Amino acid sequence: MDIRPPCCKDATLLAERRLQNFKLPFWDQVGLRVHLLYCRYCRRFVKQSRIIAAAAAKMQQHESFTLDPAVKAGWEAAISRKLDQ
């Protein structure tokens, strides 16, 4: 069993999963918390992710909000490319 704190890339992935209400395994939770104790960049990422998620949820409450399918496809492709790097 590897109980070392995750690197920044893994920590941001764990933080996003937690933000999406996925139940993280115990050691992943511990590793993420330890990582966030010493990494100010990942703490900032988590804070910004929470703000973005709250803003997106608020936008979805408005009935007039629609996203152009072409824009959505472009964003999904860009995100996919970044995740594959």
Confidence of residue 35 (pLDDT cuts 50, 70, 90): very high
Q: At what angle do helices 26-38 and 8-19 cross, to 10 degrees?
A: 120
18 inside domain: yes
19 inside domain: yes
1 inside domain: no
How far is the C-alpha of 24 from the C-alpha of 57, rounded, in Å? 22
- Domain of residue 60, residue span: 8-84
2 inside domain: no
Q: At what angle do helices 26-38 and 40-61 cross, to 10 degrees?
A: 110
The pLDDT value given to residue 43? 95
How far is the C-alpha of 20 from the C-alpha of 14, rounded, in Å? 10
pLDDT in tens, 41-61: 999 999 999 999 998 888 777
73 inside domain: yes
How far is C-alpha 51 from the geometric centre of its chain's CA atoms?
11
Report the domain count for the chain.
1
23 inside domain: yes
**Please, what is the average pLDDT of the chain?**
87
Residue 83 has pLDDT above 90, yes or no: no
